[in-house]
Chains A and B, each alone.
Chain A
Amino acid sequence: MITDRARSVLGVYAACVCAFAVLPVVAIVAESFTATNYLVFPPVGFSTRWYRAIFDRPEFIQSAWVSLVVAAGASVASTALGTLCAIALVRFEFLGRQALQSLFMAPLSLPGLILGLALLQFFAVRNLPRDLTALMIGHVIVTMPFAIRFVTVALTGMNASVELAAQSLGADRLTTFLKVTLPLIQAGIVASLVFTFILSFDDVAVSLFLSSANATTLPVRIYTYIDQNYDPLVTAVSALIVFAAFLALALVERIIGVGRLFGLR
């Protein structure tokens, strides 16, 4: 249906677009090794000075910890709550199912910026602190639709009659879930943990509003730094994030594959 020539032309074009897609990431990693005091591309010389310079800026290290703790907490909470939702929505028929499903999916359509501002005002009006918990709550809300989706896909993909079999053999609902369902949806749960962790770690929109002097996430720290400074320090911090993302990516690729993670067969 397609000639070899047409396929090659499309292939060359796709390769160009791929280059465009990764260009900024490649640029930032290359730039992080520059020996100059200023940003220049292509980078001049080779040095790891900007990586060493990170250690003179404890705020970046501190923010990295904040981001890791928030992402860990948010991904676990989001996946646990998302699993509850997925089981209820997939395995049961009940009044208000459609409405609740729409509610849990709503954060997908609401810009993170708006939720961030709404939560900021909500916390401030009620004199609640903006701390790690506040950040985690915001991140759980924005990541839960994805957690629900991953677990739902796993639940619909497994053979539900094995649950019936377990119950007919005398297992109660909880035992059935722990011994039969959970092992079968494990891959979906792991995918959800990894993906919600990454989403939380990368988030800027919500964190921008919920970060405070003593709890600022790494992406927000980067944003405030480049708002006031113009030097290669942030490229080194960003490059470290890129390396970490590659590790996560390798993990995802091993578990389910990047394409399938986003619903491509």
Chain B
Amino acid sequence: MTPDTDVIVEQITLVIDGFEVTVPKGTLVIRAAEKLGIQIPRFCDHPLLDPVGACRQCLVDIEINGRAFPKPQASCTIPVEPGMIVKTQLTSPVADKAQKGVMELLLANHPLDCPVCDKGGECPLQNQAMSNGNPEMRLDGVKRTFEKPVAISSSVLLDRERCVLCARCTRFSDQIASDPFITLNERGALQQVGIYEEDPFKSYFSGNTVQICPVGALTGTSYRFRARPFDLVSTPSACEHCASGCDLRTDVRRGKTLRRLAGDDAEVNEEWNCDKGRWAFKYVTATDRLTVPQIRDESGELVTASWPEAISAAAAGLSRGAAVLVGGRATYEDAYGYSKFARVALGTNDIDFRSRISSDEEREFLAARVVNNSTTYRDIDKADHVLLVGFEPEEESPIVFLRINKQFKKRALKVTSIGSKESIAVEKLSANFICVQPGQEAAAVATQELTNKSVILVGERAAESAGLLSATAALADRTGAKLAWIPRRAGERGALAAGAIGNLLPGGRPVSDAAARVDIASLWNVDSLPSEIGRNADQIIADVNSGQISALLVGGVDPLDGPSPAGTIAALEKAFVVSLEIANSEVTKYADVILPVAAITEKSGSFLNWEGRAREFETAVDSLNRSDLRILSMIADELGHSISLGTVANAAKEIATIGNWDGASVATPSVSMASAHSVSGDQAVLTSWRRLLDLGTLQKGEENLAGTARRTVAVISPKRAAALGVVDGDLLRISNGNGWVMLAALVENIHDDAVWAPRNSAGSQLLANLGVAHNSVVTVVKA
């Protein structure tokens, strides 16, 4: 574990089993021993949880300056001291017997069901019983039994008789996730993990408890009885679900992903991840996966085509003048492929990766402040104050939440959140919540007082309030605070760096800068690059609909994510659409050529997380599907403008040669805030965000996971509730000219002018239902 701060820590030298070792003050004996390669058996101990000393498996003999402890001590609870002499099971017969004795007791009530237990083969109890246990069990009496399994949530099952009561799960939930929804109940040998009455273990981080359970007591519903660990092929991976950038391990059995585990990266996710990253991967093997190219024939029907036919049809259609829409889930290398394809093969800067509500202010902000930004998780560790702007870390980048929470728990890190509705995370972090009318965030940002040790985390939703990104940048300039932009999707930061946006070429080079264009043109072996700043996504859609653009190359875009789904669908109907997709979607419905591409587990590549840190991953599942990059290369060849990016490795090599732009940077935007909405009577200003667990396409088919999603509600303030005569649970109808949603009311801390609903949850798909999601006036009535 690396220290969170740069403070120099006093070093302490001690002797363990005859070997001297020097470690920082505060190190626990068990970890000092690890440094020497001495493995002391343990169950309750976990390096990221507070010591508890419950399992007593790690007993060792300790003497300090000649004074021996009268009895063996739990090495997971004792910090090292100068002059300490530790004898582990390797050199102390007393410690060895103590450990074997504890192991025998742990096994006394543990069932011998290893052959059918998910943990069998990768079980710390099994392993340590072999390494530090007696060969024979002397208990010939009756073991404790329980009804099994108990579902503590739809995702997590509990087999109580297997539990060794180490309290790792309960401590994780309390100390790391701040979701103390599980606890130990009863006492003695009947002690057990439990939930409160009918309230299940609905934590976004519950899967970590399954991973750190040292026995098979907690198992994931989706993985239970699916595989033996030794039948799995494991591949290091990176999570594609958000921009946190978790290190993962993907476990595959006979070509099918069966589970994903959090990887260990002290700089990023430590040893944790969120439940979406862990349990949402079935979309890869969904039944509606595309496997062969299709072309729309004269009668308007999609028919199967050969690759050469499809590539030539795509090239023919795109040659009529096309723009590129690439979703925020593309890998860095694929985004680079789209970026290069747009410029080299299509001769246009009309490309935008922002398949969501966006703005030109944001595009300028990204070019000026984000593309070369170097704020990291470590800056959060060291911050004196974290300011959240248009950003809900727990919902939109869960590991960022865990990191802030860690510092909050450790040293009461000050957190301020500017928004319109208080969230659960704001409550957990005891954050100072500044409540404004949706759209008026910039005014609150402008008055913040920060220092150069503060960190501002601004989310992608900031683009939905005019002037907010400008004000945030100005705040950073005025105070010296570090600024970071945290998008939701895993590919956005990489797509930005790859230049999959109209105003930037790869490496943050401004399209408007002639030297920058020359730079990239020479790299790409072309005479020149288009010099006009490209159209943004909204403009592209509008210009398709007005007939100025005739074709669209679309990769991984959901029209329902954009500001005007109806307009996007009209454009898709009108234009010649080449769709690169993994599964049937709203886009393939209207596409003229459909080219199936590889899903994330089927290819290698990388993402840049919100820090800009490369998160590389290898192919986990063999398949015949090709990456977007490969297909784009084939179309480019057909168009006669080769982009020479046949493989991910080629693209990565080429990207590595680019380097960051050292010329003049783009000016930071200075857009003013719009005036406040004036609302009266039943009118309210809508605000929303996406929940971590919702109707997102990558969560398709994950029913167990969906069972732990938060309730779909419409939130109004007590004042509005009183005016409407509404109490919690009453139905509210939120409507505008485009449509309506009907949701159960929840009366909470929200701006009196505002109404909140989840953006993309069951029964509340705001962009589809209302055409707006934030900063727009709607009517709220009791249904």
Question: Do A and B truly interact?
Answer: no
